[in-house]
Amino acid sequence: MPISAYNGAMARAASTTDAFNAVAEPRRRQILDLLSAGERPVNDLVAVLGLPQPIVSKHLRVLREVGLVDVRDLGRQRVYCLNGRHLKPIHDWVKAYEASWSRRFERLDGVLEELTDQEFTGQQEFRKKEDRHGSDGD
Amino acid sequence: MPISAYNGAMARAASTTDAFNAVAEPRRRQILDLLSAGERPVNDLVAVLGLPQPIVSKHLRVLREVGLVDVRDLGRQRVYCLNGRHLKPIHDWVKAYEASWSRRFERLDGVLEELTDQEFTGQQEFRKKEDRHGSDGD
DNA sequence: GTGACATATGCCGATATCGGCATATAATGG
DNA sequence: CCATTATATGCCGATATCGGCATATGTCAC
């Protein structure tokens, strides 16, 4: 029995419940980008984005539920502003992979996709399962 | 006419076509995490993750289509390895928001969510739409 | 209060996602 | 060749997502 035992009951994992998902939607990112320049009322976003207002409101709702934006009532307007706090986990996660694109993998950039195991492991010819990942340690 | 003119034809934006989406799935992140320690054949991932093999293969497929992993044939095994290149756009995107959680918003950390516009703009009392985002320029 | 403005919501349909399962494909070993 | 191992795929059903539209809610102006 492996590690996590696999709870095979839910038809789907998470959804729009975390920052990762919220940000997976391009429009939502666009909204955040706009808000990063400063707070804006919905109408402003609607105008700039060129989307129907309900759509924008819905995206804002998702962003809000995830905590990526805060709202403030201003008369009959609702002013949204960025709250980058929940963006940090994402940053922390990707940052751990920084090494994989900066240097060291650089030269493999397109090469890895081209070369076959033939070319790559030409002399070794290992097909016994024992070798499969004998040297994980990078 | 605003900026993007809004193409109101598609029922959905992107999907599993970009790194943002691929990474929005927790299991997929988990797989990448495992692969960041070194390449692994599918079976290994299956064992560690405790998920049914088809599920893992499907997630790997998504990751592959987005370019986040590369595959190598090794006898009857398929060895997957991380390819962090397509993670960089994500990193670049979030990094731009770094300031929003590091300092300056730090002290507002939980406060912002608590205080209402009343408390916050107590003395100003602006409700005319002209002020709504007068000082965007941060 | 009535009406205009600003925004949020609800319902709908199309589509996409994800897991489950069976099965296809491919390579290996006897 | 056949069985086994390793992995990929296809189909299914449940559910979630997203846009479109109408409409509810709330606020301000008159």
Residue written as token pair 């997929």: B28
Are B97 and B80 members of one domain? no
- Kindly report, residue by residue over B86-132, the tens digit of the pLDDT: 999 999 999 999 999 886 545 554 555 444 433 433 333 333 333 33
What is the total count of domains within chain B?
Answer: 2
Q: Is residue B7 part of a domain?
A: no
Q: Which residues of B touch A135 (CB under 8 A)?
A: 38
Q: Is residue A6 part of a domain?
A: no
Half-sphere exposure of A64 (CA within 13 A, CB side): 15
Are A30 and A82 members of one domain? yes
Q: Is residue B25 part of a domain?
A: yes
Q: Which residues of A touch B29 (CB under 8 A)?
A: 20, 93
> Does A13 contact strand C, using a CB cutoff of 7 Å?
yes
- Kindly report, residue by residue over B44-83, the tens digit of the pLDDT: 999 999 999 999 999 999 999 999 999 999 999 999 999 9
- Residue type, position B49, single letter: L
- Rounded to the nearest 10 degrees, how much is the dihedral formed by the CA atoms of B40, A89, B65, A6? 60
Q: Which residues of B touch A1 (CB under 8 A)?
A: 50
**Residue B47 — φ and ψ, nearest 5°?**
-65, -50
Are B40 and B66 members of one domain? yes
**Do B132 and A51 count as a contact with CB atoms less than 8 A apart?**
no
Are A27 and A65 members of one domain? yes
Are B79 and B102 members of one domain? no
Residue written as token pair 């994402």: A90
Q: Is residue A34 part of a domain?
A: yes
Does the pLDDT value for residue A115 go beyond 70?
no
Are A76 and A101 members of one domain? no
Q: Is residue B45 part of a domain?
A: yes
Locate A72 and state its tokens. 């403030």
Are B74 and B94 members of one domain? no
Kindly report each contact of residues A120-129 with a partner whose C-beta sits within 8 Å and lies 24 or more positions away, as own/partner: A120/B72, A121/B74, A126/B74, A126/B75, A127/B74, A127/B75, A127/B76, A128/B75, A129/B77
Distance from CA of A60 to the nearest CA of B (A): 16
Are B31 and B43 members of one domain? yes
Are B29 and B76 members of one domain? yes
Q: Is residue A10 part of a domain?
A: no
Q: Is residue B138 part of a domain?
A: no
Question: Closest Cα partner for A22 from B103, B97, B115?
Answer: B97
Q: Is residue A75 part of a domain?
A: yes
Alpha helices in A50-104 (DSSP H): 53-66, 88-95
- Kindly report, residue by residue over A5-57, the tens digit of the pLDDT: 444 434 445 567 899 999 999 999 999 999 999 999 999 999 999 999 999 99
Identify the residues numbered 69 to 128 in chain B whose C-beta atom is closer than 7 Å to any atom of strand C.
Answer: 73, 75-76
Are A47 and A76 members of one domain? yes
Q: Which domain holds residue B96?
A: 88-122
Are B76 and B92 members of one domain? no
**Residue–nucleotide distance: B87 CA to C8 C1' (Å):** 35
Q: Which nucleotide comes closest to A64 if you measure CA to C1'? A: C8
Q: Any idea what the CATH number is for the domain that residue A32 is in?
A: 1.10.10.10
Provide the mean pLDDT of chain A.
75
